[in-house]
Structure 1
Amino acid sequence: MKIALVVHDFDPRIGHGRYSVELARRLAARHEVHVWANRFEVPPLPNLHFRFVPAWRRTALASVITFLVASEALLRRERFDLIHAQGLTCWQADVITAHLCNAARREVDPPRRWRHWVFPLVVCPLEQRFYRQRRASHLIAISGRVAGEIRSHYGWRRATSVIYHGTDVEHFCPPSAPEQRQALWHQFGLPHHAWKWLFVGEAVKGLGAAIAELPAFPSAHLLVVSRSDLTPYRRLAKSLGVAQRVTYHGPTQSVLQAYQAADVLVYPCHYDAFGLVVAEAMACSLPVIVGQNAGAAEWIEPQRNGLVCNPHQSGSLRAQLLWLQAVPSR
């Protein structure tokens, strides 16, 4: 079968990019797979063909619009047995994987600045049209939450499957020995005797809330793995007097090492369609604290396999941290 996989970034350092990379690798074992993307961060594999889609990446909105126009023009030149779109990426998809619902995100976590309102005002109507295109016959939602959001906000009424992001448990696993963790502490520059918190992902998904809790926990040290502009978060940490207790690390293809070095994943997001970092952390036997509006929260049985906080409720994150701190062996 000749398959087109359409995604903005074919990059394992990004949640949806990691999903696309793993999916393409497995499909390529049995099919001819053409990956249409603007950016590629993995080497080519047999049966896996990289097809460049031009896009202007100055802003998020420009990226979406220009990629959409270019991919449509390119895909019309060639015939495929199946076109699999990763969200709003083309107009002739057979299968769509919904990685988020922007209309729902706007409701749960409204933009804080006027210029940030432009993106949902333009993209939400486009998404509604996208999910009503005639050709698309099947929706893959990465959580039950997203499946419901696409139905309620965009009127999707066709076949739907909820398939949570998979995690390679042969790769994402606990450290093999205490000495390995100690080596990782040295690698990341983490104090050996600190309670090591970890935040992974886009900073808007709760980094500010994690930093804000540091003054209440003098033994805690926060490791941040993010591709975001961290300037405002550095200022926040400095204003709270905890700048020396935050270690910043850019995006990495070896995020496994961060999970293995940490004591707890702190991910108090206001909204995340799933939260692949939660699944990866759990595979590494790392305790997780997750915002209740993350799709991955559907997995959590509170105080059994993780903790859930309400980012909109003052004191909720702190209560979960206190519960975990009381008995570190949890």
Structure 2
Amino acid sequence: MKIAIVRQRYNPYGGAERFVERALAALAAEGIDVFLIARQWTQAAANGFQRINCDPPSGGVFGGRLARDRGFALAAAKLMAAGQFDLVQSHERIPGCSIFRAGDGVHAAWLAQRARVLGAVGRWSQRLSPYHRYVLDAEANMFAHPALRAVICNSRMVADEIHRFYGVDRERLVLIENGVDLDVFNPEQVSIHRAGIRRASGIPESVPLLLHVGSGFARKGVPQLLQAMARCAGGEFHLAIVGADRKLNALRATAERLGIGRRVHFTGPLPDVRPWYGAADGFVLPTLYDPGPNAVLEAMACGLPVLTSTSCGARDWVIPGKNGYLVDALDVDALSDGLLRLCALAELPASRLLARAAVAELGLPAMADRLIALYRRLIVGNGLQVSPDRVV
């Protein structure tokens, strides 16, 4: 079996890229010939797959992301056509792929959510943006292309959006959630890391600690999170924020201005977040839009109850009042109330057990099995024939 995976660049902190890395390693271990068509991929040599360099000129500093993305798409499409692959799975919006993995969600849905926080001028600019128009056209053309045989959705939310915005048949929408290493991310992180991280960070053992993990703070909801925390009357919990953002220092200043600076811990990006999963009592991600965040999956695997938004694909795993809560990403009052409720819920041992149980079937072997089964069904030409619970 000869399969090509298309992904423009690898970011070691990116959820979609980590999915690709895990999937490629699992497929290569099964003896499948895996080729990666990419512009940048720093981990390629370690995973037993073959890289096909795709780095066309992008116009330098004057080209911008539109020229970069369009140039990569055109070059990758040529490589896809010339490679004689049994299947091509693209993680970019490139018409002509046989499988599209919607790991980045639906651009049309993201723009609809983003418009909620923009003023009239911002919404006008978004509608006229050449880049957004290019992505929307590429998205529409890809979903309408006759070569497309299946769409891998990492959450039911994404499947619903693809069907609603583009009318793709439900039979072609296959649910394969991100996989998590359940041996690496586990409740034992508490006994390993809790005391040391709290001591080093000046967080008392008896004080609840909530954790946020994710780069790109505006989309991930950090500004609203700080505002909500400041409104929590009587709430003396601490908050750790792990991730990268150009406005990190400005948000530190915001926390100080809101009077919560001593209880908010900005760590910057970290290659290993497990110590903070072990130190925390609950996980919070009030993201404006997130199709299927690995951070929530990892946190729940470590036994952390979760507060996330209704525009997050991880809502599938949350049982409100049992292992977490759901709120609108922009409802600061509801978020403030949710933070206090999460602190209270985290005190119940059952909530940790239910958090772990919600993702217990999403291990890496299960993800690899579902991917390989999908590929084999498509290659033998018998249609999808996907298990009913996998068709969304």
TM norm structure 1: 0.89
Opposite residue 268 of structure 1, the aligned amino acid is P
CA distance in 1, matches of 2:316, 2:190: 31
Q: How many residues align?
A: 328
Opposite residue 319 of structure 2, the aligned amino acid is E
Within-5 A mapping of 1:160-239: 160-176=173-189, 178=191, 180-186=193-199, 189-193=201-205, 194-201=207-214, 202-203=216-217, 204-217=219-232, 219-229=236-246, 230-239=248-257
Q: Which residue of 1 is the match for residue 262 of structure 2?
A: 244
CA distance in 1, matches of 2:195, 2:33: 44
Q: Which residue of 2 is the match for residue 126 of structure 1?
A: 138
Opposite residue 106 of structure 2, the aligned amino acid is C
Q: 1:5 to 1:207 in 2, by over 3 A?
A: same
Conserved? CA contact 1:173–1:283, under 8 Å: yes
Match of 2:102 among 86, 98, 103: 98
**2:165 is equivalent to residue 153 of structure 1:** yes
Q: 1:122 to 1:135 in 2, by over 3 A?
A: same
Residues 256-289 of structure 1 deviation map (CA, whole Å, 9 limit, x = unaligned):
2222222221111122112221111100001210
Match of 2:69 among 22, 42, 64: 64
Match of 1:279 among 281, 297, 302: 297
Residues 101-156 of structure 1 deviation map (CA, whole Å, 9 limit, x = unaligned):
01112222316346555243331122101111121111111111111211221232
RMSD over aligned CA atoms reads 2.4
Q: Secondary structure at the match of 1:290?
A: strand
Q: Secondary structure at the match of 2:50?
A: strand
Q: CA deviation at 1:314?
A: 4.0
CA distance in 2, matches of 1:167, 1:185: 25
Q: Which residue of 2 is the match for residue 26 of structure 1?
A: 26
Q: CA deviation at 1:177?
A: 5.4
Opposite residue 21 of structure 2, the aligned amino acid is V
Q: Which residue of 2 is the match for residue 2 of structure 1?
A: 2
Q: 1:313 to 1:250 in 2, by over 3 A?
A: closer
Opposite residue 291 of structure 2, the aligned amino acid is A
Within-5 A mapping of 1:251-290: 251-290=269-308
Q: Which residue of 2 is the match for residue 37 of structure 1?
A: 38
Q: 1:46 to 1:323 in 2, by over 3 A?
A: closer
Which range moved further: 57-66 or 296-305?
Answer: 57-66
Conserved? CA contact 2:211–2:239, under 8 Å: yes
Opposite residue 250 of structure 1, the aligned amino acid is G
Conserved? CA contact 1:31–1:47, under 8 Å: no
Q: 1:2 to 1:257 in 2, by over 3 A?
A: same
Q: Which residue of 2 is the match for residue 310 of structure 1?
A: 328
Structure 2: segments with no counterpart, 5+ residues: 349-392
CA distance in 2, matches of 1:101, 1:223: 29
CA distance in 2, matches of 1:51, 1:185: 45
Q: 1:68 to 1:190 in 2, by over 3 A?
A: farther
Residues 212-248 of structure 1 deviation map (CA, whole Å, 9 limit, x = unaligned):
1232345232222223222442342233133333222
Q: 1:282 to 1:328 in 2, by over 3 A?
A: closer
Q: Secondary structure at the match of 2:331?
A: coil
Q: 1:182 to 1:62 in 2, by over 3 A?
A: farther
TM norm structure 2: 0.76
Conserved? CA contact 2:95–2:138, under 8 Å: no
Structure (1/2) with the larger strand percentage:
1
Determine which structure has greater relative contact order: mean sequence separation of CA pairs < 8 Å that are 6+ residues apart, divided by chain length: 2
Match of 1:295 among 288, 310, 313: 313
Q: Percent identity?
A: 26
Q: Secondary structure at the match of 1:289?
A: strand
Q: CA deviation at 1:312?
A: 3.2
Q: 1:222 to 1:177 in 2, by over 3 A?
A: closer
Q: Which residue of 2 is the match for residue 52 of structure 1?
A: 53
Which range moved further: 176-185 or 305-314?
Answer: 176-185
Q: CA deviation at 1:186?
A: 4.7
Structure (1/2) with the larger helix percentage:
2
Q: CA deviation at 1:46?
A: 5.9
Residues 56-97 of structure 1 deviation map (CA, whole Å, 9 limit, x = unaligned):
496554443232123223334422121111131x33211111
Opposite residue 34 of structure 2, the aligned amino acid is V
CA distance in 2, matches of 1:311, 1:300: 15
CA distance in 2, matches of 1:43, 1:137: 27
Q: Secondary structure at the match of 2:45?
A: coil
Opposite residue 208 of structure 2, the aligned amino acid is W
